[in-house]
Amino acid sequence: MGFRRFAVSYFLKGILSVICKIDFKEFKEFIEALRNNGPMLVIFNHINFLEVPIIVTYSYPLYITGLVKSETWNNPIFAFIFNTFNAIPIDREGAFSEPFRKVLETIKKGYYMLVSPEGTRSKNGILGKGKPGIIQLALEGDIPILPVAHFGGENVWKNMRRLRRTRFCLKAGRPFRIKCERGHRKEEREKIMTEIMAQIARLLPERMRGEYAQYAYNECQYLEFI
């Protein structure tokens, strides 16, 4: 599996380098943030198909994987790729208990876990509303969270039509833990989620922050920075 992961990473990097121009200065800072903190949840804004393969392949040999919608396994090529990186299938209409258990097990094995709190792609690049499943996951496993944001990828289709490479920027924020008991109230959960999403928003250009723009630089009550 080690050689297979290397080979697939090398192959995908070749394809992605044709499509994208990676901002390696920012990316190196992201890699350092991972190495300095160990296995954790890596939360990101979800724009299109680019961010996950770029993060996973350009971070090799670090072990990074993520949650992927289960129907992706219907395509044998995608199934091969995602199985190579031990991605975890999730049925967005089904129960979360089994993927939840697998996420915790995978992090304990030393993996960094990519999770998009939005749960779906943004159609216009603007940060969408976060879903609170990330809170339960972090609290249950006492797992730190690293917020990252990327931009540039929202222009990929337009640039491909013009035969242009897309500049892909990735920024890492400050890792944190959630300061809250697992039996928190709904009102607290909404405040926690706002603080979490604001950590992604502050890394994005202002035009992409969406409803979290007003909270981007607020003081946090429920997050403890590492």
Interhelix angle 76-84/2-19, rounded to 10 degrees, is 120
The confidence score (pLDDT) of residue 174 equals 95
Q: Are strands 166-172 and 176-178 parallel, antiparallel or unpaired?
A: unpaired
DSSP 146: E
> Which one, of 104, 109, 134, lies nearest residue 44 by Cα?
134
Tokens 């121009």 locate to 21
Residue 5 CB coordination number (10 Å): 17
Instruction: Please answer whether residues 141 and 133 qualify as being in contact, where contact means their C-beta atoms are separated by less than 8 angstroms.
Output: no
Quote the pTM value: 0.93
Alpha helices in the chain (DSSP H): 2-19, 24-35, 51-58, 76-84, 97-108, 133-141, 156-161, 186-201
What is the tens place of the pLDDT at every residue in 57-80? 999 999 999 988 888 899 999 899
Asked if 156 and 51 count as a contact pair (C-beta separation under 8 A), the reply is: no
Domains in the chain, please, with CATH?
2-225 (3.40.1130)
Q: Is 111 helix (H, G, I), strand (E, B) or coil?
A: coil
Residue 166's pLDDT band (cuts 50, 70, 90): very high
Of residues 200 and 183, more confidence is placed in: 200
- pLDDT for 95: 58
DSSP track, 68-99: EEGGGGGSHHHHHHHHHTT-EEE-TTS-SHHH
Who's near 102: CB < 8 A, 6+ residues apart? 88
